Amino acid sequence: MHIIFRSVPLASCLLLLAAAPAERTGFAAAMDSAMARMDHDMMQPASGDADRDFAAMMIPHHRGAIDMAEAERRFVASIPLGRLTTPEDVANAALYLASDAAGIVTGIALEVDGGRGV
């Protein structure tokens, strides 16, 4: 996520949160693939046995959760700070840019990504 900030009087401060359109590659593609497999495998015809039907749906559901957790683990391993960006991280960056401490900042694109964009 990028934060684009333009320094203007605080009353008319312009703060734009701009995220480039997500390309369905890497992490997003891995999550999409795991979800599609899980959805497909959960579509089982009813057998009339509720316990069997439940297991037939829940086993692929849990496999999908494991696949998605593994995709997230691989993605997080690619982030130098070793964790996902939180809403608080983005809010803290915005607060800094809106504060007096950033008074000399006249315009930047601030990467809030744990060092992944470096």
Q: Which of 11-15, 47-51, 83-87, 94-98 has the lowest mean pLDDT?
A: 11-15
Query: What's the chain's average pLDDT?
Result: 82
CB atoms closer than 10 angstroms to residue 64: 21
- Of all residues in the chain, the percent with pLDDT exceeding 90 is 63
pLDDT digits (tens, 9 = 90+) for 38-67: 999 999 899 999 999 999 999 999 999 999
Q: What is the dihedral of CA 111, 101, 10, 16, to 10 degrees?
A: 0
Q: What is the pLDDT of residue 2?
A: 52
pLDDT digits (tens, 9 = 90+) for 6-24: 444 443 333 444 444 545 7
Measured in degrees and rounded to the nearest 5, phi and psi for residue 14 equal: -105, 115
Please write down the HEC assignment for all residues of 38-67.
HHHHHCCCCCCCHHHHHHHHHHHHHHHHHH
